[in-house]
A and B are shown apart, each in its own frame.
Chain A
């Protein structure tokens, strides 16, 4: 990492740490990457950490007696501790490595959900969920005859907490919701939603895929029972994510996948499950990725999550101001920049999002077009698809200028 720790003014230093941002999409067309809500770019320090593992200490973890195995195990477990403390967890054994947020949520549904829920039990979700926090519960609901209820989204792209209050009268067993919408950018009042759930006796799961990467998320402060997030959206590698869970709950959950590492003892016809967190980590895990994940939280901690949030708010304010002058544009979600994260989804009258994305790509500007894995939310908003620009610490105002220039080009072409 270069000099990345001195806050807002070192903006260009952050950008310089990400090798891919130096490339041209095609000759003479530099990349403007505005798709971080899908996946983020990776800094040199993360790439080096993973490369070093493979070059110098590649070995399978746990149980190995030789030096490389011990070093690899130490690095893997050290990454777990650093990631746990990054979200304010005091006990690293409460942090389980998974493949991604989706797997973390499925783990809870298939172990806690399958063991503890019964016919007629209620789960509360919201209308702005990503498919990853809808489908696992739909699958479980079909299997166990559960009832799913949804906190509605209002015209401003915010959750209707009055309706939520009424839904709580159904005495739900679980409230599972997204902390920051990957489409609207809405930052939901997670603490309030969790406290209300607790009062009615429900457990809570926070889908933090879009929040942990972009601002400080502390489980001690928010108080959820489960928290799910992915490394690849927070400058780490793909193929690894995390589930944090409250120890007493995790201990009483049956294991998820069966196999090596998740057992203490195996007989021909039975097994005894391992202690936390290994009980939920069957088979050889993504070791290099865990080490890369650790390097990612080191980088983010050094920059400071408050600095990232401040930086993104500045970019979002600037983008909303510039975009509001684009003819025919309609931006989704809260209209005050301080109520949303670094995501702006929009439509432009008369131009399909796919065409917008394609025209922007010809100028090297990478955005996403479609339903962003939130089809029910798009149905609710009455639109088929949107174009989404999403930001991270390595973006700056010049990227927004390139975006607006590309949109002008699209409008001229279709005008």
Chain B
């Protein structure tokens, strides 16, 4: 457990760098984890070369989902949408650096599902989005 709440998670939860909303934006998507009601919205601004120039998340959730969203958005600033499309579950878990049980894994992965559903322009954030490379 102490590993689960390592300093970076707590720090990101308390002082997120990418919390907020972007209006106007180029890509926005929101969804929730129906099990716990955690809700996240992600907004992106993308330049003409298809590179993510700004990113922000809003909504509410536990420390794991919020820290995950913050770290994920930090990792995609300056990257192309093609790069974002190729992100998978392992990439995000590497960023978090923690071992998670099945229930909390859903918290950690919610931001990635939402980000990819937005970038692919899909109607819903499905688990399949976590696998593809």
Chain A contacts to B: CB under 8 angstroms: 350-355, 358-359, 361-362, 369-371, 375, 378, 384-385, 413-414
Contact = CB atoms under 8 A, between A and B. Distances in A.
Interface stretch (B35-43, B69-77, B81-89): B35-43
Contact of B5 (A384, A385, A413): A413
Contacts of A352: 60-63
A243 B40 CA distance: 41
Given A354-B36, A354-B104, A370-B35, A359 B61 contact: no
A361 B61 CA distance: 19
Interface string B43-60: 000000000000000001
Interface in B2-45: 2, 4-5, 10, 13-14, 35-39
A355 B5 CA distance: 9
A378 B5 contact: no
B107 interface: yes
Contacts, number: 46
17 contacts: A351-B63, A352-B61, A354-B38, A354-B62, A354-B64, A354-B104, A355-B64, A358-B1, A358-B5, A361-B1, A362-B2, A370-B35, A370-B36, A384-B37, A413-B10, A414-B13, A414-B14
Given A359-B1, A361-B1, A384 B14 contact: no
A355 to B, nearest CB: 5
Given A355-B5, A414-B10, A378 B37 contact: yes
A contacts with B: majority SS: helix
Interface residues on B, range: 10 to 19
Report which residue of A370, A375, A378 has the largest number of chain B beta carbons within 10 angstroms of its beta carbon: A370
A391 to B, nearest CB: 23
B1 to A, nearest CB: 3
Contacts of B107: 354
Contacts of B36: 354, 369-371, 385
A358 B104 contact: yes
B37 A371 contact: yes
Contacts of B37: 370-371, 375, 378, 384-385
A359 B5 contact: yes
Report which residue of A352, A359, A414 has the largest number of chain B beta carbons within 10 angstroms of its beta carbon: A352
A358 B4 contact: yes
Given A352-B63, A359-B1, A384 B10 contact: no
A414 B7 CA distance: 10
Nearest to B9: A355
Interface of B: 1-2, 4-5, 10, 13-14, 35-39, 60-64, 104, 107
B38 A384 contact: yes
A24 to B, nearest CB: 15
Contacts of A351: 63
B58 to A, nearest CB: 14
A378 B4 CA distance: 28
Contacts of B2: 362
Contacts of B1: 358-359, 361-362
Contacts of A361: 1
A352 B61 CA distance: 7
Nearest to B14: A414
Contact of B39 (A359, A375, A378, A384): A384
Nearest to B36: A370
A362 B107 CA distance: 18
Given A361-B1, A413-B5, A384 B104 contact: no
Contacts of A375: 37
Nearest to B66: A352
Nearest to A410: B5
Q: Which 6 A-B pairs have the closest CB atoms?
A: A362-B1, A352-B62, A354-B62, A384-B37, A355-B63, A355-B62
A140 B10 CA distance: 46
Nearest to A413: B5
Nearest to A379: B37
Nearest to A352: B62
A386 to B, nearest CB: 10
A413 B97 CA distance: 18
Contacts of A378: 37
A355 B14 CA distance: 13
Contacts of A353: 62
Given A350-B14, A384-B38, A414-B13, 8 more contacts: A354-B38, A358-B1, A359-B1, A362-B2, A369-B36, A375-B37, A384-B60, A414-B10
A121 B35 CA distance: 33
B109 to A, nearest CB: 14
A362 B104 CA distance: 14
Contacts of B10: 413-414
A351 B63 CA distance: 8
